[in-house]
Amino acid sequence: MEDYRLRGVTAAQATYLGSEALEVRMSPADWQDPAREALSDRDFMAWLPVDFHDGTIEAEVASVLAPGAPDYARGFIGLAFRITPDGRFESIYLRPVNSLVDDPVRRNRSVQYVAYPDFRFDRLREEAPGRYETHADLALERWIAMRILVKGARAELYLDGAPEPTLVVPDLKHGADLRGGVGLWLESGTIAYFRNLRIDTRD
């Protein structure tokens, strides 16, 4: 626990669904207010200052809507990687609520890639609709196995042990050379749980 650095969150050991996990929370005071600002990806996370460049990041994640969560809450939870001292990073995250709705547009926004701070979901969605997000069979309040394979400017996300990737990002926006930490990421209205984090570096 003492190895994690915290950006706007609290983190504590907890038991969730019968397993030991790290619980990460954001204060409701930090939830975004769409009446005052455009919703956007931010850098709230617990992160490890490891030297990660190429390799594999694995974790099982589960999200719960916090009491009083805003209407736009989707159970946002994910993994950030190559986090630099100046605050840049790549990230792939999940919106489990979107996976279960009838609206096909929202369903296809269940999984999201972003590169903080310049390539957030709204910019990527405008410039390349559908390229950096996709559907996956997700749900709140269950463990979801995430495995991200990173090599150069390419990242692949595998979910729940599937042999084929759910999302392929062939052009990571920070390029092939960025390196840095690995983070446990969340957004507004989420209580996030993480277990069995494994980081395998290959360079």
DSSP 8-state class, residue 107: H
In this structure, which CATH number among 1.10.3720.10, 3.10.20.30, 3.30.460.10, 2.60.120.560 belongs to the domain 5-28+42-201?
A: 2.60.120.560
pLDDT in tens, 166-198: 999 999 999 999 999 999 999 999 999 999 999
Nearest alpha-carbon partner for 23 in 194, 201, 196: 194
pLDDT at 124: 98
- 105, pLDDT greater than 90: yes
Summarised one tens digit per residue, pLDDT across range 43-95 is 999 999 999 999 999 999 999 999 999 999 999 999 999 999 999 999 999 99
Confidence of residue 202 (pLDDT cuts 50, 70, 90): confident
Domain boundaries, the chain: 5-28+42-201
pLDDT at 11: 98
Going by C-alpha positions, the residue among 170, 169, 165, 102 that lies closest to residue 136 is 165
